[in-house]
Structure 1
Amino acid sequence: MVSLDTLRKLALSFPEAIEKPHFEKTSFRIRKKIFVTFDETKNIACIKLSEIDQDVFSAADKTIIYPVDNKWGKRGCTLIEMEKVNPELFKDALTTAYFEIATKKLSKSTRLDDKK
């Protein structure tokens, strides 16, 4: 299980990530681009992945991580059941979503910082 507090802590640990409301949801963004939203009423996160990464993470368990059931899902929007997801799997998926949205320059500098 992953809580909103854990999601918030992880999301805001990324360089330039900020939290802002997105309609009735909480969103985390980099330079105005959303990489994850959280629906507190449904306890579901929605992350933005590439099509390949979406397939990889969904393969872990399609009842916990799965594409949104519409055109957004075909564009990489992926739902995660927060009560069921393994915290390490969630962290990997969220990190992947961050790098999917981050600029190439920001991604490169962040990955270089990790090696220090």
Structure 2
Amino acid sequence: MNQEELISFALSLPEAVEGAHHGTRDFRVRSKIFLTMPDENFCVVRLTPDQQHMTLAVAPDDTAAVPGGYGLRGSTRLFYGKASNELVQDLVRKAWQNAAPRTLQRQFVIIPSG
């Protein structure tokens, strides 16, 4: 997946908007950040520690996703150019769900691609 495709996908999620945090491009749902783009080679997705652990355990290539990002537990660097489109979409979707309030999550059924 390239950067434009990642941005398009992130903005396709319900109520997702683009913003900036400390000079870094980010994507939010109701003011909560779910994805940041600190570098042109990777983004940081807001996963739970359990989601991060599972991702790192099953990621087909250990360079596609690695722990790290701004000191938040579960923050995961996602090298979206190296990862499959399915993995990128799944992790961005999870990050959106982690940031979105439950009332918003209940209004939308997000069906995984594939």
**TM tier, smaller:** 0.7 to 0.9
Secondary structure at the aligned position of 1:15 is classed as coil
Which position in structure 2 is the counterpart of 1:64? Answer: 64
Segments of structure 1 that go 5 or more residues without pairing to the other structure are: none
Taking only aligned residues, the RMSD between alpha carbons, in angstroms, comes to 1.8
1: CA distance, partners of 2:99 / 2:106: 13
Secondary structure, counterpart of 1:108 in structure 2? helix
Higher helix proportion: 1
Match of 2:88 in 1: 90
Residues of 2 paired with 1:92 and 1:17: CA distance? 16
1:53 to 43, 51, 54: 51
Contact 2:69-2:75 at 8 Å conserved across structures: no
1:3 to partner: Cα distance: 1.6
- TM-score normalised by length of structure 1: 0.84
Aligned length: 109
Instruction: Give the 3-state SS of the residue equivalent to 2:82 in structure 1.
Output: coil
Paired position in structure 2 for 1:14: 13
Deviates more, 1:62-71 or 1:16-25: 62-71
The CA distance in 2 between the partners of 1:66 and 1:6, in whole Å, is 21
